């Protein structure tokens, strides 16, 4: 009889990948694996706000590591600093929601496609949606990242002394076509 | 070969050892390594027992995970674990100390020195241990633009199927390759990519030995270096020039 060889234990999602987990619905086999979970030690006493912020930041940073090899290192450091500031427990309003991982995933995938030379400013909208914004003089672009690659765009673009203003719902796949008539280089390219 | 954008999503070095390490020892490790790993999490096992007298819940701490602020440098120190319901099933036979490096990968020299430094601190606290298993594992995810129409363009291994079968759209293979007195677990398969408009192939290489592990730190570190060289050899043998171009 062949014995299944042991694997060195890893941490990431990929480390749990195996020939069984990756195949959907095998007959006669449970679909979930036995897992144990890590609990933050700092929260042995109940501090729900800090715990929520800790978990949200950890989840985002671990997700970023999955695509880190495709992202600029300098931007990564800046992004982590922005996220830490957005989730500062000292400044936190308990009625707010930390960035939701689905929104962060959309944001990163959008950034991968856009590859802007100028990184965006970040803010937090309702329901844990991440807002990315670019300002260039009077020209403003704000993109609210929803889950599942959906985007809510609001912009003001001055072309020949007349402003065009718009609010559009789109997806990351269609973003370039949506912004193309407004010459988005004013937001994304370094001047 | 050094690549500008190595596809390594996680590198792991692991020492498995006999015996337990108590909660107080793990707490000492956390304190000693707090500067490098400020984020501490404990691994807890919760067991429920029910009987005529009612239900009881037992919580036992069985491991420690320490992470850097950016969560890319991680170490774990775990106790052996048996089945939580009292069945004679062993889930993890030995205690283990492991270091993980999530992407972006910083290179072997830096990663292996971090492991050696951290292990020397852990060993001072838990005492010298006979090692039962040494492993070096590299999990690579090769992100490929578009769909994968022919896996052979990207990797040199795929399942051998009867000629009359159509080409598979996805596959997963697990093979064990003897490497001198060690073994390599090689897991290869198609997987979803987290990047838009991309597919992925996972190439997971885990080289380990359960025999001929020296008792001296120097000998153990030499084994790790040897495993790393073999890992590179396996990786380069499994990929194609088209794949190499993706990492430049």
Measured between alpha carbons, how far is B203 from B137 in angstroms, rounded to an integer? 11
Lowest model confidence (mean pLDDT) among A23-27, B2-6, B30-34: A23-27
Per-residue pLDDT of chain A (191 residues; tens, 9 = 90+): 444 457 777 777 666 655 444 433 334 333 333 445 666 665 545 478 888 999 999 999 999 999 999 999 999 999 999 999 999 999 998 889 999 999 999 999 999 999 999 999 999 998 999 999 999 999 999 999 999 999 999 999 998 889 999 999 999 999 999 999 999 999 999 87
Decide: residue A106, CB within 10 A, 0-12 exposed, 13-18 middle, 19+ buried: buried
Question: Residue B86: its pLDDT value, please?
Answer: 57
Going across the sheet that includes A150-159, the strands are A121-124, A130-136, A139-145, A150-159, A162-171
Instruction: Looking at the complex, report in whole angstroms how far the Cα of residue B235 sits from the nearest Cα belonging to chain A.
Output: 17
Question: CA A152 → CA A27, A147, B145, distances in Å?
Answer: 42, 11, 26
Which of A57, B118, A179, B135 has the alpha carbon at shortest distance from B110?
A: B118
Mean pLDDT on B169-173:
88
Decide: A57 and A85 in contact? Cβ < 8 Å. Answer: no
Evaluate if pTM is beyond 0.80: yes
CB contact under 8 A, A9 and B12: yes
Structure tokens at A86: 């957005």
In this prediction, residue A5 carries a pLDDT of 57
Better pLDDT: A33 or B219: B219
Determine which of A4, A13, A14, A78 to mutate to test the interface with B (most B C-beta atoms within 10 Å).
Answer: A14
Nearest CB partner across the interface for A22, out of B65, B70, B172: B172
> What mean pLDDT comes out for the span B226-244?
97
- Selected residues 39-78 of chain A with any CB under 8 Å from a CB in chain B: 39-42, 58, 61-63, 65-70, 73, 76
* Among the listed residues A125, A84, A91, A89, the one whose alpha carbon sits nearest the alpha carbon of residue A106: A125
Taking the CA of residue B51 and the nearest CA in chain A, the distance in Å comes to 24
What ipTM is given for this predicted complex?
A: 0.84
């Amino acid at each position: 009889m062949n014995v299944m060889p042991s694997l060195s234990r890893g941490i990431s999602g990929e480390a749990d990948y195996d020939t069984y987990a990756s195949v959907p619905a095998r007959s006669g086999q449970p679909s979930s694996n036995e897992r144990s979970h890590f609990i933050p030690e700092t929260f042995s006493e109940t501090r729900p706000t800090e715990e929520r912020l800790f978990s949200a930041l950890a989840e985002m940073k671990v997700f970023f590591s999955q695509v880190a090899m495709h992202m600029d290192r300098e931007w990564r450091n800046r992004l982590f600093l922005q996220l830490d500031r957005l989730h500062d427990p000292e400044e936190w309003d308990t009625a707010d929601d930390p960035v939701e991982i689905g929104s962060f995933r959309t944001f990163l995938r959008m950034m991968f496609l856009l590859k802007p030379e100028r990184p965006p400013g970040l803010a937090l909208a309702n329901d844990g949606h991440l807002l990315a914004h670019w300002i260039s003089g009077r020209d403003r672009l704000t993109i609210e990242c929803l889950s599942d690659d959906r985007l809510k765009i609001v912009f003001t673009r001055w072309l020949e002394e007349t402003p065009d203003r718009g609010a559009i719902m789109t997806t990351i796949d269609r973003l370039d076509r949506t912004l193309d008539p407004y010459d988005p280089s004013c937001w994304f390219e370094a001047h | 070969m050094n690549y500008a954008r190595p596809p390594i999503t996680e590198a792991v070095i692991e020492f498995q050892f006999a015996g337990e390490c108590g909660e107080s020892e793990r707490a000492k490790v956390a304190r000693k390594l707090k500067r490098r790993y400020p984020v501490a999490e404990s691994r807890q096992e919760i067991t429920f027992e029910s009987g005529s007298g009612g239900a009881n819940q037992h919580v036992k701490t069985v491991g420690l995970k320490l992470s850097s602020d950016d969560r890319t440098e991680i170490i774990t120190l775990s106790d052996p674990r048996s089945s939580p319901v009292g069945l004679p099933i062993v889930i993890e036979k030995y205690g283990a100390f492991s270091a993980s490096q999530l992407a972006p990968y910083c290179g072997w020299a830096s990663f292996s020195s971090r492991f050696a430094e951290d292990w020397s601190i852990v060993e001072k606290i838990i005492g010298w241990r006979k090692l039962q298993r040494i492993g070096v594992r590299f999990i690579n995810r090769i992100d490929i633009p578009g769909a994968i129409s022919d896996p052979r363009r990207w990797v040199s291994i795929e399942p051998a199927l009867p000629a009359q079968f159509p080409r598979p759209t996805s596959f997963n293979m697990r093979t064990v390759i003897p490497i001198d007195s060690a073994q390599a677990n090689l897991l290869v398969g198609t997987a979803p990519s987290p990047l838009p408009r991309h597919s992925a192939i996972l190439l997971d290489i885990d080289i380990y030995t359960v025999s001929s592990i020296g008792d001296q730190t120097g000998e153990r570190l030499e084994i790790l270096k040897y495993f790393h060289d073999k890992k590179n050899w396996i990786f380069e043998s499994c990929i194609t020039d088209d794949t190499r171009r993706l990492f430049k």
